[in-house]
A and B are shown apart, each in its own frame.
Chain A
Amino acid sequence: MASVRGLDNSNPEIHQKANERELLPEEEDDEVVDKIDQREVFDLVRTINDPEHPLTLEELNVVEEALVKVDDDNNMIYINFTPTIPHCSMATLIGLAIRVKLLRSLPERFKVDVAITPGSHASEHAVNKQLADKERVAAALENSHLLKVVNQCLSS
């Protein structure tokens, strides 16, 4: 998929990586119940590889900490991601990789919504609808070729 096509965006802008998360004293205290927070979810997705470039989604500014919303009490997580260009043909694949990463990492109680940052992609609605359709996501993940590509994005 990614390898047979030309690059959509051959010269992407590269962004500064965030610092490593600072461990707070209460986080090392097992007595304190840790809620899942924005930074924790961001840390899960920032290192996902872009399907085309040897760069992470964070370095390409596809994911940003500010665009992650976590409501631990209600088991909800919302993530917006910003394709590097408005006609990026990899948008669905990137969204799928984010979804799979969170499905595999977070407790099952969480409902995860992954959507394109409003206004940043020409097919925003169609991509969002596809990513929100869990039946199609389930079917896609049974496709061994696609799963391989997703796993490549998730390997670090």
Chain B
Amino acid sequence: MAKEYGMLENIASLEGHDGSVWCVAWNPSGSLLSSCGSDKKIRIWGKEDKEWICKTILTDAHERTIRSVSWSPCGHFLASTSFDATTCVWRKNEKEFDCIATLEGHENEVKAVSWSRNGQLLATCGRDKSVWIWEVQDDGEEYECASVLNSHSQDVKCVRWHPEKELLASCSYDDTIKLYCEDDDDWVCFDTLEGHKSTVWSLSFDKRGDRLVSCSDDKTVKIWKSYPPNNKEGIHTNGKDPKWKCVCTLTGYHERTIYDVDWSHGSRELIATASGDDCINIFEQDNVTDENQPSFMLIAKQDKAHEQDVNSISWHPLYNILASASDDGIVKLWRFVET
């Protein structure tokens, strides 16, 4: 294995949550970080005089663990999902956040939420095995269910929209990833990505959206690539839809379940992974790679990043700064530096 040539420098440890922190998410400008967890609270963190502080705490919207948070692309809205079966949408005002909508429909725990690129669609998923697509109306005041997708056979762990197109990806306890697009006014699953040997916990698209990375309870990370119809590699496709294939598997880098993965969209396209072994790993593609058989190198490893499982990681939208969240109740900020 090549020598790692980067490291993570811990620039802040944000304490305040009582119990596990399940998710961290940056707003689009990177000025605010939101976090949520088993204490049923959302914390909004920001920088004041070079210090990271908790600016606001959002409470009383959810009755159970808040599993995930996600900002709208305009940065004016924050969505939160909870084990209480609901999704809340918060509007950011001058100083505070107001809960303006509660989306109901899932039978039980809602695990993840994601906004489409133009902010007009919201996707949620949960333990009831379904993925819901919601249309955003009246400037974010109203949400109407556009589709309920029941393609997965088990608990759906995560949903993520494509960075440019209206294409959705979901991953599940059934070990698969599924891709959806709109076809004749209805949403359909057009591809199922099989390869992981256990629960797929999370996924993330690359900057252009023609590849995605996934992470799993099988302790591997997989890179999948989209092959459009009539591709020069001769990969068989169905109709107008692309076919996604696994082009790389990263194995042996984590000792326990990998709970989250995030592919940065900055000038350096870095992949960060968060695991139950308390470590964070950073991978980067080797620049001499064949796109059909790319190789990725471990360029930084942070052992004992947290005292307990690392549940979530998120790259700052502009800089090589990473936020991480853990069962130890702490949110940490890291700067990736070359060594």
Give residues in A with beta carbon < 8 Å to B.
108-109, 111, 129, 132-136, 138-139, 142
**Interface members, chain B 310-339 (any A CB < 8 Å):** 327-328
User: How far is it, in angstroms, between the C-alpha of A133 and the C-alpha of B199 when the chains are bound?
Assistant: 9
Tell me, yes or no, whether B64 is within 8 Å of chain A by CB: yes
CB-contact partner of B256 in A111, A138, A139, under 8 A: A111
**Closest A residue by C-beta to B38:** A138
**Interface members, chain B 86-133 (any A CB < 8 Å):** 108-109, 111, 127
**Closest A residue by C-beta to B198:** A129
Q: How far is the CB of A138 from chain B (nearest CB, A)?
A: 6
User: What secondary structure prevails in chain A residues at the interface with B?
Assistant: helix
CB-contact partner of A135 in B64, B111, B307, B308, under 8 A: B111
User: How far is it, in angstroms, between the C-alpha of A13 and the C-alpha of B15 when the chains are bound?
Assistant: 51
User: How far is it, in angstroms, between the C-alpha of A138 and the C-alpha of B111 when the chains are bound?
Assistant: 12
Tell me, yes or no, whether B170 is within 8 Å of chain A by CB: no
How many A-B contacts are there with CB distance less than 8 Å?
37
Given A142-B64, A142-B65, A142-B83, answer yes or no on A129-B276 (Cβ-Cβ < 8 Å): no
Residues of A near B206 (CB, < 8 A) are: none
A-B contact pairs, 17 of them (CB 8 A): A108-B307, A109-B308, A111-B256, A129-B198, A129-B199, A129-B217, A132-B217, A133-B199, A133-B217, A134-B276, A135-B157, A138-B20, A138-B38, A138-B65, A139-B65, A139-B83, A142-B83
User: How far is it, in angstroms, between the C-alpha of A45 and the C-alpha of B123 when the chains are bound?
Assistant: 42
Residues of A near B20 (CB, < 8 A) are: 138
Residues of B near A135 (CB, < 8 A) are: 67, 111, 157
User: How far is it, in angstroms, between the C-alpha of A108 and the C-alpha of B330 when the chains are bound?
Assistant: 14
